[in-house]
Copies of this chain bind each other. A is one copy, B any other.
């Protein structure tokens, strides 16, 4: 019997801290990361039917929600822990923080633990832009970014890198948020226009992105503001009781969703009848269904965020950190020499 108490390699789980995530992003380049993530998400949408699509497991309180979002493709298993606490911002905390884990289905052993607050912002933006590539009108070069919070710069850069958007028209009810977003986008190559009303922001825009944070039914875009031919990328309506668009817009649009059972509860279409017609995005991406069919059509991505997108993001980080120094190893799994001798391992550690 060996006297080893140091963990073996199998017991060590690669961990990507916030600091290392930022180092990785700067090493690769943020626009390249967004392009890479979009490709990983697109690949996983193409094999959508393979995935175990468990509903997210939510624990609600008066002030927020804590959710676990698991999924598996049969080889890897991933889950994200994410909270949503709108009141946190007023206390100097993030509304949303997240971390994620990937494990090997064959052994059940975790193979990656990573921060996912930044990674979620990146995957959400990458997914939006990947979807816009399929749905936005041809030649789109201008986006209205309504809601200039934590997600806005990521959305802007993803639409630039993946869809070729060159002009970003910013609006937020809080001018300080717009100023922050404009300052952050300075030097990115985007032509940034700050606007003082949603009406002004959407002028000449072919893509309208809404991403506001209030947990309430709001009307960020009213029916008469939306003309024909645009693509609406609706990010903010992402939980029960939270929507951003007038129902009239939904009636005039072709609505595309990630996973209908979840979107009908959490998305913009929670305002509509249960049989309101939607198209599943994965079927557009595999070519089974039509995306944009005419220049006049209004397309709408009713984005709520789905576990498979987090899985894609975890898969990307797992692949990207191999052989790098963007992680360190956590002694997280007990791994006795003799699997039946957990107690002996504990006992020998006393020496």
Contact = CB atoms under 8 A, between A and B. Distances in A.
Interface of A: 5, 7, 10-11, 15, 17-19, 21-23, 25-26, 30, 52, 54, 57, 59, 61, 63-66, 68, 70, 72, 74, 77, 79, 81, 83-85, 88-89, 91-95, 97, 99, 101, 103, 105-110, 115, 117-118, 121, 148-154, 177, 180, 183-184, 330-336, 338-347, 349-350
A105 B66 contact: yes
20 contacts: A5-B19, A17-B331, A22-B345, A64-B107, A81-B101, A83-B109, A84-B108, A88-B107, A89-B339, A94-B339, A97-B108, A97-B110, A97-B333, A99-B332, A117-B334, A118-B346, A121-B343, A154-B343, A180-B338, A180-B341
A89 B108 CA distance: 12
Contacts of A65: 108
Contacts of A106: 61, 63-64, 85
A184 B342 CA distance: 10
A332 to B, nearest CB: 5
Contacts of A52: 59
Given A64-B108, A346-B22, A339 B93 contact: yes
Contact of A95 (B11, B18, B81, B339): B339
Contacts of A110: 81, 97, 99
A5 B17 contact: no
A160 to B, nearest CB: 13
Contacts of A184: 341, 343-344, 347
A308 to B, nearest CB: 14
